[in-house]
Amino acid sequence: MAAQPKPLPIFQPNYLEGGGLLGWLTTIDHKRIAVLYMATALVFMAIGGIEAMLIRVQLWEPNNTFLSAGTYNELFTMHGTTMIFLVVMPLLIGFFGNFMIPLHIGARDVAFPRLNALSFWMALVAGITLHLGWIRGGLPDAGWFGYANLTERYFSPTLALDWWVVGLLISGTSTILSAVNFLTTIITMRAPGMSYMRIPMFMWAMMITSILILLAFPPLTVGLIFLLLDRFFGTHFYVATAGATPILWQHLFWLFGHPEVYVMALPGFGIISEVLPAFSRKPLFGYPMMAYSIVLIAFLSYGVWGHHMFATGMGPVADSAFAITSMLIAIPTGIKVFSWIATVWGGSLRMTTAFYFALAMVLEFTIGGLSGVMHASAPVDLQQTDSYFVVAHFHYVLFGGVMFAILAGFYYWWPKVTGRLFSESIGKWHFWLTVIGFNVTFFPMHFLGMWGMPRRIYTYAPDLGWTGLNQLETVGAFVLGVAFLLFYINIYWSLRYGEKAPADPWDGRSLEWSVASPPPVYNFALLPNVRGRDAWWILKYGRAGSRGVAAYVAGQPPKPPEPEAPVDLSHVHMPPPSIFPLVVSLGVGLMGLGLIVGWYRIILIGGIVTIMSIIGMGFEYKDYGQAVHDPEHAPSSGGIDVRKVGVWCFLGSECVFFASLISTFIVYKSRSIGAPGAEILEIPLTSFSTFILLMSSLLMVLALAATQRGDKVWERIWLAGTVFFGLIFLSGQAYEFTHFYHEGMGYTTNLFSQSFYTLVGFHGAHVAIGVLWLSVLLVAAITGRLGKSRALSIELAGLYWHFVDVVWIVIFTLVYLMQTVHGA
């Protein structure tokens, strides 16, 4: 009988202990990474809050000169960018998502721990990049929405927008990696017995949010790539005089932007759906409808982006379609509000600070939702767009809805994260000052908007009648600032003096309350067997107790959890720390820095560091696939391999990326000014290249078959053949591009050329990545590091390679065959 693996020395009584600074820099523990996200977001929250108060000081009186117009534009641009990308997203996805997903589903870690660490370090690099304008080039001043053509080099000649573009590209990559990780984790690593209709509602929210991220962020990535090409390489994707349209940016941005609202809102809904039942001592009312409503919200959110563009002249048909879908999305949202009220109604309420914030969120978000229904009507929106009415609506949704939910989650899960309780007295002061400050700041904006005050103005005339409400709003903003100062004080007080928290201080309902506070490194010594919804509550009170408050009506106190008996941890194998995620992120940051300041050697160094670190990370752990799984307790995923699911999730996002590029090509080919155009394309050469690429897929299938049967010789031959065919395809593409250039079709010649080169070039970059991937596997096969037991490595590379080939078939058909026939 084989000896059981010994527990690694990483094990500590809880995840917060041990390791020192190096331990935090190399950690891949999802709980530590969550704390890193939280600390980073709290720093940026302070920065964004200060920016907001400076904005309100400027608007204190008419014709104020406290800030110049340029400085004001920089502040409101950075305030919006910081709060959305560096505060709300990191807190919801990075902090709450990271910490709670494994604990909620009964897992020991996320599916890809090192990818998780990479997501954080890239997010930190993105945040730093966005603020490097303080040092050189200034801060961006085109608004957090970055409308073209204000972002073009002609209108923004400094480095300010360059920092913004590169920072958001890195941030978006980080978020997509997190979504792949979380979606894979929830699909494949749920504890035995935890079906989809038994997972906590926060898990439904995070699962659907991850899908939304994978679908919504690629259009933003494409839009930012076009902007980067315009600013650095002289293209004209958003320049009207070249035949392009600045409206393209709005379509790409809002195709991301409105799903992004629900990327922030849905996790907030999930938090509220956990807090209200806990302090009402009742199960969540209408669980199935709550789950279905989350799915419906996500589905509809992808078809409502046009209501941000009613004023751009899309036409009555498009306006009507977007108006209908925007109104429909109020139905599943209303279901949630009704379910929350019904959950509280008749409950045995425990009036904690977390419960206060959850109740306030329901009220404040409802106010924001009602004004949102108004914006769904195109005639009403035309009157209210670009006014302070929109600013009021936006903040009632994102602050009144999302931030109140975040604060409820902080007060609810803080004992689990730190093992300490917050001060309830400071928390109540924090709550009431937040409610007062928030409503005093943003409710008067409804009236100012109706009275004609435009958004984004840095001053106003004294005879317009806006002074009084602006001063009231400024007072409210400073009250809000004091409220958040109390929040930071409460954090310090809790960490320094707070009462130690038991494992289950709130008599909770879900699995995170079944482990110590703070949790051990491995979360669960034995994976729990889930017998129903509200799994921990059922373990404490049985199924009868899970249906209501009967135990409390009978005077039965909450049953404290029994002390955990000593457990043999020899079967628990956690992955050790890794420095590679940090190094990869530094390499990416170096490439961005080199691009912005024009130091091309820095770009080369950053690229080499990134590629070598990714390769090193890929071969770091020999038994990585078993790192976070208990072999004696199979998860309820049915044995689906986490790596295969992760690749499929990533490829789904890549489909949207290429769809955005292809759609832009289709639109711009007919708007191109001047020759050459499709007539320059050479079908014979490209047909040969297409045949070669398709044959490489056949060789990839043969390589996998050879690996699975243990034939090392043919494994190497077929891998080498695939790499060789890939290189032939890339050589043909390089020759084609050179030929086109000599025939007068340069990269910036016209819209056709730049759309063509961008689309085909990005596909070529994907082929090059695949060639590099397969080359590394070929070297591993030659050196004996591949074999029958690691056939999955070949299978995963094959999935990517086949995807690249399928995309090329679509591109070849639409770009070469159809364009040439049309031109003939």
Residues 62-78: pLDDT tens digits? 999 999 999 999 999 99
Q: pLDDT tens for residues 350-409?
A: 999 999 999 999 999 999 999 988 989 889 988 899 999 999 999 999 999 999 999 999
pLDDT band at 566 (very low <50, low <70, confident <90, very high): low
Q: Considering only CA atoms, give the Rg of the chain.
A: 28
The domain made up of 637-817 is a member of CATH 1.20.120.80? yes
Q: What is the pTM of this model?
A: 0.93
Q: What is the pLDDT, as a whole number, of residue 13?
A: 63
Closest by CA to 129, choosing from 86, 76, 91, 80, is 86
CA count, 13 A, side-chain hemisphere, 804: 31
Q: Return the ∠ at Cα 363 (arms to 358 and 365), rounded to 5°.
A: 90
Q: What is the pLDDT, as a whole number, of residue 419?
A: 93
Residue 187 reports pLDDT greater than 70: yes
Q: Return the ∠ at Cα 279 (arms to 275 and 282), rounded to 5°.
A: 95
Percent of the chain topping pLDDT 70: 92
Amino acid at site 156: S
Q: What is the pLDDT, as a whole number, of residue 570?
A: 62
pLDDT band at 518 (very low <50, low <70, confident <90, very high): very high
- Please state, rounded to an integer, the average pLDDT across all residues of the chain: 89
Identify whether the C-beta of residue 797 lies closer than 8 Å to the C-beta of residue 696: no
Rounded-to-integer distance, Cα 500 and Cα 482, Å:
27
pLDDT band at 22 (very low <50, low <70, confident <90, very high): very high
Please confirm whether the linkage preceding 149 is cis (ω < 30° from 0).
Answer: yes
Q: What is the pLDDT, as a whole number, of residue 785?
A: 81
Measured CA distances, 346 to 115, 352, 460, 510 (Å): 44, 17, 50, 21
Which CATH architecture is the domain 246-510 placed in?
Answer: Up-down Bundle (1.20)
Amino acid at site 724: F
Residue 46 reports pLDDT greater than 70: yes
In the chain, where the domains are located: 246-510, 637-817
| DSSP conformation class of 83 | I
**Ramachandran bin of 530, using left for φ above 0, alpha for ψ from -120 to 50, beta for the remaining angles:** beta
Q: What is the pLDDT, as a whole number, of residue 626?
A: 43
Q: What is the pLDDT, as a whole number, of residue 545?
A: 54
Q: Rounded to a whole number, what is the distance in angstroms from the first to the last CA of the chain?
A: 73
What are the two backbone dihedrals, phi and then psi, of residue 659, each rounded to the nearest 5 degrees? -60, -40
What are the two backbone dihedrals, phi and then psi, of residue 192, each rounded to the nearest 5 degrees? -55, 130
Q: What is the pLDDT, as a whole number, of residue 550?
A: 45
Identify whether the C-beta of residue 322 lies closer than 8 Å to the C-beta of residue 306: yes
Rounded-to-integer distance, Cα 606 and Cα 172, Å:
19
Rounded-to-integer distance, Cα 84 and Cα 77, Å:
11
Residue 11 reports pLDDT greater than 60: no
pLDDT band at 551 (very low <50, low <70, confident <90, very high): very low
